[in-house]
Amino acid sequence: MRETVTLGKSDLVVSALGVGTWQWGDATIWGFGAGYGRADVQAAYAASRAAGLTFYDTAEIYGSGTSETILGDLVRQEAGSVIVATKFAPLGRLSAAALAGALRASLTRLGLPRIDLYQVHWPYGFIRIEALMHAMADQVEAGHVRAVGVSNFSAPQLRRAHAALARRGIPLATNQVHYSLLHRHPERNGVLAACRELDVRLIAYSPLEQGLLTGKYHTANAPRVSALRQLSSLRGAKVKASAPLIAALQRIGQSHDDRTPAQVALRWLIQQGALPIPGAKSAAQATANAGALGWELSELECEELSKISAAPGR
Q: Is 173 exposed, middle or buried (0-12, 13-18, 19+ CB in 10 A)?
A: buried
Active site residue 217: no
Residues 6+ apart with CB under 8 A from 35: none
Please answer whether residues 211 and 190 qualify as being in contact, where contact means their C-beta atoms are separated by less than 8 angstroms. no
Task: Specify the pairing of strand 13-15 against strand 4-6.
Answer: antiparallel
| Alpha helix segments (H runs only) across 181-311 | 185-188, 191-198, 236-241, 243-254, 261-270, 283-290, 299-308
Q: Which of 62, 118, 179, 217 is catalytic?
A: 62
Residues 6+ apart with CB under 8 A from 224: none
Residue type, 277: I
Contacts of range 229-236, beta carbons closer than 8 Å, 24 or more positions apart:
233/182, 233/183, 233/206, 233/209, 234/209, 234/210
Handedness of CA 93, 33, 211, 75 (dihedral sign): positive
Query: How many whole angstroms separate alpha carbon 103 and alpha carbon 86?
Result: 9
Query: How many whole angstroms separate alpha carbon 116 and alpha carbon 144?
Result: 9
Of the candidates 72, 74, 68, 86, the residue with the CA atom closest to the CA atom of residue 48: 74
Q: Which residues are designated catalytic?
A: 62
